[in-house]
Chain A
Amino acid sequence: GQSLEQPSEVTAVEGAIVQINCTYQTSGFYGLSWYQQHDGGAPTFLSYNALDGLEETGRFSSFLSRSDSYGYLLLQELQMKDSASYFCAVRDRSISSGNTPLVFGKGTRLSVIA
């Protein structure tokens, strides 16, 4: 089976930097994704890491260490609109080949305060 662990809640100040960690256990691994979900909204894709290292997309960066089964999402210059839930997700090759479904973590609720 697969399991992903991430903190349930994080609070940070507007303009600050916040890091949301994710550790995973899978029988196969084929990449770590991050999705953002605002209350009542759909998950939207933020980033994907297949290889070790840091991927940067604007204010958001994502990091992966395959040897540690660990990744994180880094949000810089926080804005109030960043208040949302953030989910890490894996494509677990052991589930299937081809169009592998996503297995999500329980999500981290980020609250940005003034």
Chain B
Amino acid sequence: EPEVTQTPSHQVTQMGQEVILRCVPISNHLYFYWYRQILGQKVEFLVSFYNNEISEKSEIFDDQFSVERPDGSNFTLKIRSTKLEDSAMYFCASSPLQAGENYEQYFGPGTRLTVT
């Protein structure tokens, strides 16, 4: 069964450093999302992406964040200058063009980002 993959599974970085989190969405999906989950808290929407551009973003997604689809398979989230409060699990998700009856989003296993 196709699945969303993410790398790395765990990233440790120092405050102020740039990080790039990588995702490979399901191949025939056209909508992509990034969510984050601070430990013990709810999943929060960051940004959605369609047709090579951002379609929605939340207030969390400030100028320190950017997304890119550099090729036909990868979808990346960049944090330019990490802060301690960026420590969280970051989930990539994708959904097909025709969302179908259930509007299901398929989540990757996540990247745990630890900022020290």
Tell me the A residues contacting B by CB distance below 8 Å: 31, 33, 35, 37, 41-45, 47-48, 87, 89, 91, 95-96, 98-107
Contacts and interface: CB of A to CB of B under 8 A. Distances in A.
Contacts of B101: 48
Given A48-B103, A99-B99, A41 B56 contact: no
Interface of B: 31, 33, 35, 41-45, 48, 50, 55-56, 58, 91, 95, 99, 101-110
B2 to A, nearest CB: 14
Given A99-B55, A101-B58, A102-B43, 5 more contacts: A31-B103, A44-B107, A91-B103, A95-B56, A107-B42
A101 B33 contact: yes
Nearest to B112: A40
Given A99-B31, A99-B55, A101-B56, A42 B110 contact: yes
A99 B102 contact: no
